[in-house]
Amino acid sequence: MTAALVAAAILVLVVLRSRRTVASPVLARLRVLLPAWRFFDRAEPAPVLLVRIAGAAWTPLAAGPRGLTTWAFAPRGNLALAYHAAVAQLVAEVDELDAELPDDAPAITGLVAYELVTRIAHEAAGGQPCAWKIVVDGGDYLASREIAA
Instruction: Sketch the domain layout of the chain as residue ranges.
Output: 2-41, 44-143
pLDDT at residue 18 greater than cutoff 70: no
Asked if 98 and 122 count as a contact pair (C-beta separation under 8 A), the reply is: no
pTM of the prediction?
0.68
Report how far residue 15's alpha carbon sits from residue 35's, in angstroms, rounded to the nearest whole number.
Answer: 9
Q: What are the pLDDT digits (tens) for 77-135?
A: 888 889 999 999 999 999 999 888 998 899 999 999 999 999 999 999 988 999 999 99
pLDDT at residue 22 greater than cutoff 60: no
Residue 148 CA to chain centroid, in angstroms?
27
Report how far residue 125's alpha carbon sits from residue 148's, in angstroms, rounded to the nearest whole number.
Answer: 11
- What integer pLDDT is reported at residue 32 of this predicted model? 63
Residue 116 CA to chain centroid, in angstroms?
15
If you average pLDDT over residues 44-65, what whole number do you get?
86
Q: Where would I find the H helices in the chain? A: 2-16, 25-30, 75-95, 106-109, 112-124
pLDDT at residue 20 greater than cutoff 70: no
